[in-house]
Structure 1
Amino acid sequence: MMLQFERVVATGTAALDSGIGDTALKTFNGETYLYSTTGRGGGIVSWHLVEGASPQEQDQQYFGASITHQVGRIGTPVHLAGNDRLILDVDTATGLVGYSLNADGTIGALQETGGLTGGGDIASAVQMTIGTSNLLVLAHEDTDQIGSYRINGDGSLSPANSVAASATVLKTLQSGSNHFVITADTAGNTISSYTVNQGTGALSEVDGNEAIRTLGINTPTAVEAVQAYGKSWVVVAGVGSNSLSVLELASNGQLKPADHVLDTLHTRFASVQDIAAVQVEGRVFVVAGGGDDGITLFTMTPDGQLVHMDSFADTLDSGLQNVQTISVAPVGDELQIFAASQQDAGLTQLSVSIADLGLVAEGYGTVTGTAQGDMLSGGILDTTLHGGAGDDILITGTSATTMTGGAGADTYVIRESSGPTVITDFQAGIDRLDLSDYPFLRTPAQLDFTSTAQGARISYRDEVIELHSDTGATLTSEQVFGAGFDGPDHIPVNLDSGPDNNTSAGVAGRFTLSSASPNAALGDAELRFTPDGGSALVAQANAQGEFELDLPDGTFPGQLDITKSYSTASSEITALDALQVLRMSVGLDPIWGPAAAENFIAADITRDGAVNALDALAILQVAVGQPTEHDAEWVFLEANADLSGISRNNVVYETGAEVTAVDGALSVDMTSILLGNIEAV
């Protein structure tokens, strides 16, 4: 997919063409209109979008004398009791100020609602419908409040509640049956989510979003929200970090990082000022631009990864110096992209053809595409992907994946921790190999690249790709990668995954593990599910023991293994435990009576199959905080495991459990034991 520069459109009037601060889209009767807004002394222009042609100027409106010296540069369409309006940011207004929008794209009269508790000086606004209730959420600049208002039948607004918080961007998104407002505060450098009470419309901030703070998003300037691929996604632009971040919104309102990309010399979103996202025929596209004098186009995969499609650098004709605002709309068989510059007058129009979009499919076994541009993803078992004709995007699964792109310019996306990968028909100079998900890979020189008789063999860490050329001839690194990688840098978002010494305390004894609820015994643990015939899927539990293995629908038997470190802060292991083990090592009972099988397992911290004085020494070292070769950790066994043969000199057992996942859910009874902690069972 290529970005095509079309033209710069303008009215010819400086007050309406220069300093465009915002653009907004609205559809009436199947026709799409774009509204551009300038600041003080300016006004609004309405443009009718036409497929394959220049947008037609539909109307223009200079700001009235009462607001022209107080108005900001934002314009947001809302619907109030049968009337559409473009609401504005007006410094001294007490109510919500805006112009009526007519169904033919023309601009009507200036209107103002009754006074609002937070005033009419707003930084952002978002509207949502929950059941039969219509709500409007406003970010009030003067009072540093986010206010929720019910829209009454006559178009007036009644306050639901307000929270003390600043926001420069508001977006609304549903996850599961719950509704949320996502906020970004540029000055405060924060991103937050708020749940919306479905009965009252009241906002409540969601806790537990610490994970997004590790991404390094600096000065968020724009947010987009979209539901796609059965999930809810938030995309955040960071001007100070030159970054785009994809976050998955869970049904409890927590935001989980899915991808984080940084601008490079090959992309055009450094100092990113605005982004726009659109969903077309099941595909998500993200457009970004800012101080880098150009536009970058991405598509999003079903697991939230941004795949770079194209970047367009400013020319003498294109007017893309310091992009301020972006809007994108599907118009017929093309995406029309409109960008306004902080320096150049008018609106820059670019286009992308979407005439040949194919299907989006994910699975295992054999997955076959169409004659159009498909997006096919491998699953948790061995998969063969056939793209067919068209410009396809083929994405590896977690097990072995064989990919055949067929005719067209295909993109092969290799995910980290994929199984062995074979590409059968790579077309040098036409197809593209995307390795951006590999952590810390920045140049082809880091790869172990070996030319073979039929193509090439590429290795990186534990990843292996067998690349066969479409001609059956050998391939060089230059033929595959050219002068180097041409996309953004992807930064790992799960560097803090895996158990560590700062893990939360555990719970000893029998428990029921469930993927549908918190598990106190699994706080901060790492879970590894290996389906029969497939490769391992790894999930990191949060402090409450909640985890998501991202399993597809279907029935998958396999092995579940759990790793959880000992929390030194819990002080569960003491010198008394070392004394108990010393008694057990010489055949004496613990102080409470005969030892159970679980006690022998806990005592064998060295895991050499017997309880002896070395175990007592290692446990004492753990208890007093001294270095030891044998760290304490939790072990997890099937609850019905046969432990009858375990004794002081025979500590042999199997960890993990055989489980069957059904439609993405699993449940199993297990027993957790902390090595080094000796307690009565």
Structure 2
Amino acid sequence: MLQFETVVATGSPALDSGIGDTALKTFNGDTYLYSVTGPFGGVAAWRLTEGAGPKLVDTVYHSGPILYQVGRTGVPITLGAEDQLALDINNATGLVGYTLNADGTFGDLQETGTLVGGGDISAMAQLDVGGQSYLTLAHEDTDQIGSYEINPDGTLSVVSLVSGQADSMRAATVGSEQFVITANAANSEIAVFDVSASDGSLSALDNSAAVSTMGISTPTAIEVVEAYGQSWVIVAGSGSNSLSVMGLRSDGRLIPKDHVLDTLNTRFESVQDLSVIEVNGRVFIVAGGSDDGVSLFTLTPNGKLVYLDSFADTLDSGLGNVQTLNLAHIGDELQVLATSQQDPGLTQLSVSLANLGVVLDGSGPVTGTAHDDMLSAGVLDAQLSGGDGDDILIAGSGETTLTGGAGADIFVMQYGSDPTTVADFEAGTDRLDMFDYLLLRTPDQLTFTATSQGADIQYLNEVVHVISSTGTPLTKEEVFGSGFGGPDHIPVDFGTFGGLEPSSSDGIQGRVSIDSETNNPGLADAEIKFTPTGGGTVTATTDETGRFDLNVPNGTLVGELEVVKTYSTASGRVNALDALQVLRISVGLDPTWGPAAPENLIAADITQDGAVNALDALSILQAAVGQTSPYPAKWVFLDAEADLSGITRDAVNYDTQLDITVQDGSFAMDMTSILLGNIESF
């Protein structure tokens, strides 16, 4: 898929070696790539055309005061009516950059008026808020990030300064909200700043808990893309050899979605740069670093990275220790433009998009085209048919049948789904991608059973039925070859995997409200399980504030809800007095405060066998003193309007599955929260 095309160079070592940054800019329908070298270097402009290598259109050598002070960063910006390639100049007082002409060539070197933080800029981003343009700059000398209003004459007026450091910076839009996302390699920090709709000022948002779960070390690049109806943040981690995907919500929250590590099959070890592009509804990502090559991915509608291809450096390609990457959509091809830390010039790879198809998701029959489609099943049962072309078919949480048709298809499995069937696997051509399965690294971990028509593949009590295109048995080697290709996927939400419980934390005894749009006190570190009628179970783990995202499609879904939450022994809520109260109830006495309410009887029946007896008292005592018990204390959640009048000491019957309607992914309802083993007055 990745095809080497050419290496181009200006012929000047000062411009071809040590390229520190590249950037794209479009003028009058033509796309130009600008490359930047540091002190004693300069800048070069290249025009990109379909079916040919980049064409050099202009060069400028640094001179004068900036010759010794210029960095290796260049970012295209617009100041008033003038386009510039802004530079990082040590000891400058204002923002310095070369004017960019409409034919892609360079004009004069310009400097704005004095900036509060000076002109030593490590990262920058431009954005529009309410029709007004702003420039956000990371000032290296002051460790501040400044927001500047761009005046009609191209001058800059400071709006706000906040503490922060950044090596990479991107602006992001979510609905009507604006954000600036930054990455800093020195302290492995990913930060989100809210941009005020009234004046463009910045305020930091706390995403430390979400980012800490990703295991990102030394983030060297960050990209933002809008696709599939939402915004995504993608981070390259050099120290962790990783690529990470997070969803960005309208309140500025980052939601971890995927985290992949480089392997022997991929080419992004010590990743230095990445580039992201959306083309006709499809998202492509390319990444590279010290692995002497690049790897190509696509993004699924639920935020997962699907590996497509890697290209390893050759004697001709100039990809030793990749430094910069850009993706450009030129005609019917995707052009990958890369520079190297050790090889001079600019390397061009290409990916044909001539057969790019559609992106569809849904339930029931979902049919693709004769092109390269991406089809996704959702929470309801689905039958995906790719047709001709090299398709990507993604199983949902419901029962899914995947039919690829002709072409080299990729079948992507989902753990925790109802039975999945691949109806026409073509050995040696198609690929079965099982990256969603917890800690699965090699086909040797699978239970592989050949059948008369293909094979059954079992892992963690789940089975994928694979039917061969020839209707004959399949071997493990025919399905997986010598092993899995692509990166290792590291789970970002362990609560979705069987046998693993979410972390324990305090809850709230009694009436609670649950709302998918807000914080939910008492639901921290819980699992929210939603099973739509005619579909598979969707599981979401709440954060420390009780927030969660079911990640279901828009529309009306009717089904059952269940909340699972473990007991935190640190709270000390279950104690010996609880055991005494249960012992009184078990022999027909009232608790010490008076008659037991139905909620007391539910809490007393910690064994959940339908009756309050001495075994409950013993199990509660074991929980109180920290002993292991087959009946641990835990929280149960009931419909707040449920009729509990029929509950007695000998008939403790209740339902923890609630009938709900989810509208456009949201719902709200009142519940009764009860800690089994904690006997107190209701």
Aligned to 2:617, what secondary structure does the other structure show? helix
Deviations 1:187-241 (A, max 9, x none): 1111111111111222222124313213221111111111111121111111111
Distance 1:353 1:65 in 2: 44
Q: Structure 1 residue 219 and structure 2 residue 224: aligned? A: no
Q: Quick one: which amino acid aligns to residue 24 of structure 1?
A: A
Partner of 1:426: 425
Bigger drift between 604-613 and 440-449 goes to 604-613
Q: Counterparts of 1:611 and 1:544 in 2: how far apart (Å)?
A: 34
2:566 corresponds in structure 1 to 565
Contact 1:85 1:98 in 2 (8 A): yes
Q: Is 1:501–1:566's contact at 8 Å kept on the other side of the alignment?
A: no
- Match runs of 1:16-415 below 5 Å: 16-415=15-414
Amino acid at match of 1:534: G
Structure 2 unaligned blocks of 5 or more: none
Change (3 A) 1:125 1:93: same
Contact 1:416–1:437 (CA under 8 A) maintained in structure 2: yes
Instruction: Look up the equivalent residue of 1:521 and give its one-letter code.
Output: G
Distance in 1 of aligned mates of 2:455 and 2:674: 48
Change (3 A) 1:332 1:184: same
State the shift of 1:298 in Å: 0.7
Mapped to 2, the partners of 1:500 and 1:384 lie a distance apart of 32
Whether the 8 Å CA contact 1:376–1:393 is kept in 2: the answer is yes
Equivalent residue, structure 2, for 1:450: 449
What is the CA distance between 1:501 and its match in structure 2?
Answer: 8.4
Determine the C-alpha separation between the residues in 1 that align with 2:663 and 2:484.
40
Residues 13-35 of structure 1, C-alpha deviations (whole Å, 9 max, x = no match): 11111111110000111111100
Q: In structure 1, what is the Cα distance between the partners aligned to 2:413 and 2:585? A: 52
Percent identity, aligned pairs only, is: 60
Question: What SS does structure 2 have at the residue aligned with 1:266?
Answer: coil
Q: Tell me which moved more, 547-556 or 256-265.
A: 547-556
1:675: which partner in 2?
676
Give 1:555's aligned residue: 556
What is the match of residue 544 of structure 1?
Answer: 545
Q: CA deviation at 1:660?
A: 1.8
Kindly indicate whether the alpha-carbon contact (under 8 Å) linking 2:183 and 2:219 is maintained by their aligned counterparts in 1: yes
- Tell me the secondary structure at the aligned position of residue 66 of structure 2: coil
SS of 2:522's partner is: helix
Deviations 1:606-642 (A, max 9, x none): 2232223333343344334444443211111122222
Counterpart Cα distance in 2 of 1:76 and 1:199:
26
Question: Where do residues 588-607 of structure 1 align in structure 2 (5 Å cutoff)?
Answer: 588-607=589-608
Map 1:532-681 to 2 at 5 A: 532-681=533-682
Amino acid at match of 1:512: S
Distance 1:277 1:574 in 2: 55
Letter paired with 1:207 = D
Q: Counterparts of 1:415 and 1:458 in 2: how far apart (Å)?
A: 13
- Identify if the C-alpha distance between structure 1 residues 44 and 262 changes in structure 2 by more than 3 Å, giving closer, same or farther: same
On the 8 A contact 2:584/2:591 being kept in 1, the answer is yes
Amino acid in the other structure paired with 1:522: L
Q: Which shows bigger deviation, 206-215 or 32-41? A: 206-215
- Following the alignment from structure 2 to structure 1, what is the Cα–Cα distance between the partners of residues 615 and 421? 49
Q: Deviations over 1:219-266 (max 9, x none)?
A: 111111111111211111111111111111122212121111111111
Q: Distance in 1 between matches of 2:238 and 2:410?
A: 29
Distance, in Å, in 1 between the alignment partners of 2:482 and 2:540 is 36
Moved more, 478-487 or 318-327: 478-487
- Note if contact 2:495-2:527 (Cα within 8 Å) is conserved in structure 1: no
CA deviation vs aligned residue, 1:392-413 (integer Å, no higher than 9, x gap): 1111111111111111111111
Give the direction of change, closer, same or farther, for the CA distance of 1:177–1:462 in structure 2 (3 Å limit).
farther
SS in 2 for 1:225: strand
Give distance in 1, aligned partners of 2:331 and 2:393: 26
Please tell me the residue identity of whatever aligns with 1:555: T
Compute the RMSD of aligned alpha carbons.
1.7
The one-character-per-residue Cα deviations of 1:347-383 (angstroms, maximum 9, x if unpaired) are 0011111111111011010000011110000121111
Q: Aligned letter for 2:376? A: S
Task: Say yes or no: does 1:493 pair with 2:492.
Answer: yes
Counterpart AA for 2:310: S
Contact 2:191/2:204 (<8 A) preserved: yes
**What TM-score, normalized by structure 1, do the two folds share?**
0.97
Which is worse superposed, 248-257 or 621-630? 621-630
Q: Is the 8 A contact 1:300 1:307 kept in 2?
A: yes
User: Across the two proteins, how many residue pairs are aligned to each other?
Assistant: 680
Distance in 2, Cα, partners of 1:664 & 1:141: 42
Report how far residue 598 of structure 1 moved. Answer: 0.8
- d(CA) in 1 for partners of 2:418, 2:631: 32
Instruction: Go from structure 1 to structure 2 and tell me whether the alpha carbon gap of 1:230 and 1:40 turns closer, same or farther (over 3 Å shift).
Output: same
151-160 or 104-113, which moves further after superposition? 151-160
SS in structure 1 of the partner of residue 5 of structure 2: strand
Give distance in 1, aligned partners of 2:402 and 2:628.
Answer: 49
Q: What is the one-letter code of the residue matched to 1:468?
A: I
Q: Which amino acid aligns with 1:383?
A: A
CA distance in 1 between counterparts of 2:214 and 2:166 reads 20
Other-structure match for 1:526: 527
In the alignment, the residues of structure 2 paired with residue 572 and residue 185 of structure 1 have an alpha-carbon distance, to the nearest angstrom, of 43
Query: What code does the residue aligned with 2:610 have?
Result: G
2:86–2:96 Cα contact (<8 Å) kept: yes
Q: Secondary structure at the match of 1:581?
A: helix
In structure 2, distance between residues paired with 1:281 and 1:190 = 32
Q: Is the 8 A contact 1:173 1:225 kept in 2?
A: yes
Regions of 4+ moved over 4 Å: 496-502
* 2:516 matches 1:506: no
Shift of 1:53: 0.8
**SS of 2:607's equivalent?**
coil
SS of corresponding position for 1:171: strand
Matches within 5 A, 1:3-22: 3-22=2-21
Q: Letter of the 1:488 partner, please give it.
A: P
Q: Which secondary structure state, in structure 2, belongs to the residue aligned with residue 241 of structure 1?
A: coil
**Residues 364 and 656 (structure 1), Cα distance of their counterparts in 2 relative to 1, 3 Å cut:** same
Once residues 216 and 447 of structure 1 are traced to their aligned partners in structure 2, the CA distance between those partners, rounded to angstroms, is 27
Aligned residue for 1:44, secondary structure, equals strand
Greater CA deviation, 111-120 or 434-443? Answer: 434-443
Counterpart residue type for residue 144 of structure 1: D
Rounded to whole Å, the distance in 2 between the matches of 1:178 and 1:274 is 27
For residue 290 of structure 1, what is the amino acid of its counterpart? G
- Given residue 180 of structure 2, which amino acid in structure 1 is its aligned partner? V
